Structure 1
């Protein structure tokens, strides 16, 4: 089985923004994109992207999950990076058209078609370090993927880092490549030094998110996660899990959590922790590492509530349960 996200469909949908207007959508080879070496994105990181999935149901239908939320965030990221405003209706049609073109390649569950809309500044000007790109390129790339965890989702080990940050605070809610790059050094060091799978960034003791996923704590009937602000990504999977938790009668608490509270709760029997994201859905956390000490979360294994919430989300995505919140869009 190929590594997650390394196989691509041969064509992608593409449009360009020039002279204050978006071009008609074209379908071109996924092998390359036309870009000047002086393009704004290559020097000043004017780039944002989205990650969403299309799923195959038993009736043969192909459905895209929560596309409206991803388009809203894509629009917001573009705006906050001062990229040209996207045309959401056009991008929606680009997604539906390219997924429809490769509908026969959408894997059976637990696989899916990963959809990656990307927006980059293309103006050839290396003098614009303090000015936005007036031209841009927007494309939609497809990658058929299997289950993110081929051997099952084993509980993760998280290093709690109170000194560093994933990215600049005002950049947190933007889904931009630079945010991921800035977290790589600390993550790789944590893997090497304490065998951590990820870092949970907790600047000044405030529990935020890991390098690539939102964080959720489950204590009995309560789901606790940081309240939304500009310092971290507003995850679509996070939002979906909180909605499903409320549907199950759980108490959803969106509030700040301190490292002290996190470690205190982690020691209680039955407490669970998890990471949420498009690729990994909901992944259990079994161990926190803090100040050279290890703290087991609950019994250190994947907890029943984490598994129940993950399954509830998958069942909707896979067409096994009713889509009560109208999260799925059928590909025409």
Structure 2
């Protein structure tokens, strides 16, 4: 790929790495590429971070043809590491296919990610627990107000140095089980990483936060009884000697961290069940002590222990609101692979040349 580079005239001051938060700061440059039916993907550029000129009739603003991804780069001394970018590429392909958008090939996606991360490598933080969050996204740019697949798109990658996603860090969070709204149904866009899914989830998130909860645990959209995922994470539950997580049947996002955790846990000899889990049963398991640990998995938070569940006025504390032994072990193993401080037997980490 031939990438034209336009350097920013004035570079930003780097933020304090001890107080990054999540998604507050952005690097000097971004990757931009255009698509038309006639030309395919073309005009690849690295340009100064800034506003995107758009026609008011751009179809994304009216019909929400938009997808995005999230992955991270990590600093290990003089090396920059990226975790499983090909998995994000494959998921974006599936998301774009579902929304009838132009496909960004796996090769093109990974090459673009590596190019912009390499160009902005000075922005990859080095403080413990920090990383460079990578946000590729794609949206329809064709001007028109007729409902049909757009014929023109942009693919953009922006970068943000980040710390912990949740202010709690690797400490238990309180989760509200949503029983009024639904996130997704089989046959819909639940498996796709598109903005519409997240926009539809905000009402429940606002409701949960008003009651003092960090996130929402969604139930299935048909029966309102089977546990699916947390708003920004997949969820796993250690019940007796079994680890249960929702199956990928079209309404749950196929998380990269989810997949990584499942592989590690299986190699450690744990029984992993991707099956439907009734919320009433889960609350009973929590009450009688059979629910040993619970945690969310996702790129932003990596592993986030769940210390409390609230469902229809029934509040249950998990593991005395302490981070469980397995949760800690899994977090240490996965982040060790990501930061390059532990062996990577799976070939997940890619070094930016």
Q: Tell me the TM-score range normalised by the shorter chain.
A: over 0.9
- CA-atom RMSD in angstroms: 1.5
Give the SS at the match of 1:299. Answer: helix
Alignment of 1:200-215 (within 5 A): 200-203=217-220, 204-215=224-235
- Render the CA deviation track for 1:196-225: whole Å, top value 9, x for unaligned: 211111132010012211111013442110
- 227, 231, 234: which is aligned to 2:251? 231
* Greater shift in the superposed pair: 115-124 or 158-167: 158-167
- 103, 107, 110: which is aligned to 1:85? 103
- 250, 253, 278: which is aligned to 1:258? 278
- Render the CA deviation track for 1:127-181: whole Å, top value 9, x for unaligned: 22xx111110001111111233455333111122234211354110010111111
Q: Distance in 2 between matches of 1:148 and 1:201?
A: 20
Q: Distance in 1 between matches of 2:166 and 2:280?
A: 31
CA contact under 8 A between 1:269 and 1:299: conserved in structure 2? no
Give the SS at the match of 2:228. Answer: coil
Which residue in the other structure is 2:315 paired with? 294
Alignment of 1:157 onto 2:178? no
Which residue in the other structure is 1:304 paired with? 325
- 5, 15, 23: which is aligned to 2:42? 23
Which residue in the other structure is 2:5 paired with? none
Q: Distance in 2 between matches of 1:270 and 1:211?
A: 21
Give the SS at the match of 2:229. Answer: coil
- Render the CA deviation track for 1:49-102: whole Å, top value 9, x for unaligned: 0000011113x1111101010000011111110011213222211111110111
Alignment of 1:246 onto 2:276? no
Q: TM-score, normalised by structure 2?
A: 0.89
Alignment of 1:133 onto 2:150? yes
- 321, 325, 329: which is aligned to 2:346? 325
Give the SS at the match of 2:43. Answer: coil
Change (3 A) 1:152 1:212: closer
Tell me by how many angstroms 1:104 deviates.
Answer: 2.1
Q: Distance in 2 between matches of 1:34 and 1:123?
A: 12
- The runs of at least 4 aligned residues of structure 1 exceeding 4 Å deviation read none
Which residue in the other structure is 1:111 paired with? 130
Alignment of 1:97 onto 2:118? no
Structure 1: runs of 5+ lacking an equivalent: none
* Greater shift in the superposed pair: 212-221 or 170-179: 212-221
Tell me by how many angstroms 1:293 deviates.
Answer: 2.0
Q: TM-score, normalised by structure 1?
A: 0.95
CA contact under 8 A between 1:107 and 1:146: conserved in structure 2? no
Tell me by how many angstroms 1:227 deviates.
Answer: 1.0
Which residue in the other structure is 2:239 paired with? 219
Give the SS at the match of 2:341. Answer: coil
Q: Distance in 2 between matches of 1:150 and 1:104?
A: 25
Structure 2: runs of 5+ lacking an equivalent: 1-18
Alignment of 1:47-66 (within 5 A): 47-58=66-77, 60-66=78-84
